[in-house]
């Protein structure tokens, strides 16, 4: 079966609690696989655009078919979360899945103190990822080494907390809204906020509400997916909505899918850089993406859709 026969686009799955991101991807593959597609090579490809911990729920963009070539658009996107942390204890995993390392009794923290601490975490900060994470150290996942009892040293890195808002403080439970850059670990943020308050910061609830600016309304549950299937797929062109669209003629479209550089003049008034990543189409068919040199008027194919190559050969 050709790739063109497979569905293509993105599903904004509302990932259930307890599921790994890999399990969510596998569920999508099995949902769209047909009975005659008995081996893995025949089934549609799928991949996610930004891991969610098993404890977490919420938006997990899963790309299917040829759209998997454009997962980086989600991996590099900003994310939004609602998180609840328990200030009375901390675990080795920084969430409820781990072993309790410390307890903090007789906590008496007011909203004003929380607001003052939150202000120190807004903007660009240095953050140390959790030892229980998928980051690789000498070729092995950090969480694998941590579970083996090894001393895992994580390098701090720069992330940006674009927004951090107080939502509620009920007994020992602090709930926050976070907008952040790629690579931000909310468990680490919760840990560090707790430390700044002089107490724990164990994540008890984490929900991703947005990825790349896509609203919560885009999400579909596992149950809705089973009922609607294809109607849950957002077309690839919509997924690439932030890229300028360049429309090619019949002749130029055929040359493009052959991988040829094209000398063409397009008016990209909003271009802030000399070279711009664009989505390229022909007759409402997605051909792929390309780098357009605004000064030299050269269009260089970056990723070409195999289905477009087959259609225009």
Note whether 11 and 25 are within 8 A (CB). Answer: no
Joined tokens for residue 75: 């991996």
d(CA 107, CA 197): 10
Relative orientation angle of helices 186-196 and 111-119, to the nearest 10 degrees: 120
Phi, psi angle pair for 295, to nearest 5°: -75, -40
- Of 50, 55, 49, 47, nearest to 20 by C-alpha is 55
- Of 71, 15, 20, nearest to 46 by C-alpha is 71
Note whether 111 and 120 are within 8 A (CB). Answer: no
Joined tokens for residue 150: 């090894």
Question: Is 179 noted as a catalytic residue in this protein?
Answer: no
Joined tokens for residue 56: 């977490």
Q: 3-state DSSP call for residue 14?
A: strand
DSSP class of residue 110 equals -
Q: Any residues with CB less than 8 A from the CB of 298 and at least 6 apart, and which?
A: 261, 262, 263, 292
Phi, psi angle pair for 268, to nearest 5°: -105, 85
Joined tokens for residue 230: 């294809």
**Catalytic residue, candidates 14, 53, 86, 192:** 53
Residues involved in catalysis: 53
């Amino acid at each position: 079966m050709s790739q063109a026969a497979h569905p293509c686009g993105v599903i904004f799955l509302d990932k259930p609690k307890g599921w790994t991101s890999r399990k969510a991807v596998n569920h999508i593959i099995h949902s769209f696989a047909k009975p005659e597609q008995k081996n893995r090579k025949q089934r549609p490809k799928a991949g996610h655009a930004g891991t969610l911990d098993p404890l977490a729920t919420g938006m997990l963009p899963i790309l299917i078919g040829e759209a998997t070539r454009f997962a980086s658009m989600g991996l590099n996107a900003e994310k939004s979360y609602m998180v609840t942390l328990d200030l009375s204890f901390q675990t080795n995993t920084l969430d409820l899945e781990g072993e309790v390392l410390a307890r903090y009794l007789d906590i008496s923290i007011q909203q004003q103190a929380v607001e003052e601490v939150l202000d120190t975490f807004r903007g660009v900060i240095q953050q140390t990822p959790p030892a229980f994470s998928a980051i690789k150290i000498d070729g092995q996942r950090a969480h694998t080494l941590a579970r083996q009892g090894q001393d895992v040293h994580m390098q701090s890195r720069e992330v940006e907390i674009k927004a951090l808002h107080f939502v509620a403080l009920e007994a020992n439970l602090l709930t926050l809204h976070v907008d952040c850059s790629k690579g931000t670990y909310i468990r680490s943020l919760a840990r560090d906020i707790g430390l700044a308050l002089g107490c724990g910061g164990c994540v008890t609830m984490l929900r991703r509400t947005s990825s790349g600016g896509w609203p919560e309304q885009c999400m579909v549950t596992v149950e809705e997916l089973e009922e609607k299937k294809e109607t849950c797929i957002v077309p690839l062109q919509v997924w690439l909505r932030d890229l300028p669209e360049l429309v090619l003629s019949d002749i130029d479209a055929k040359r493009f899918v052959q991988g040829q550089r094209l000398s063409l003049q397009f008016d990209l008034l909003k271009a802030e850089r000399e070279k711009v990543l664009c989505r390229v189409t022909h007759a409402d068919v997605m051909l792929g993406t390309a780098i357009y040199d605004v000064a030299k008027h050269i269009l260089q194919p970056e990723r070409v859709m195999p289905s477009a190559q087959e259609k225009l050969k």
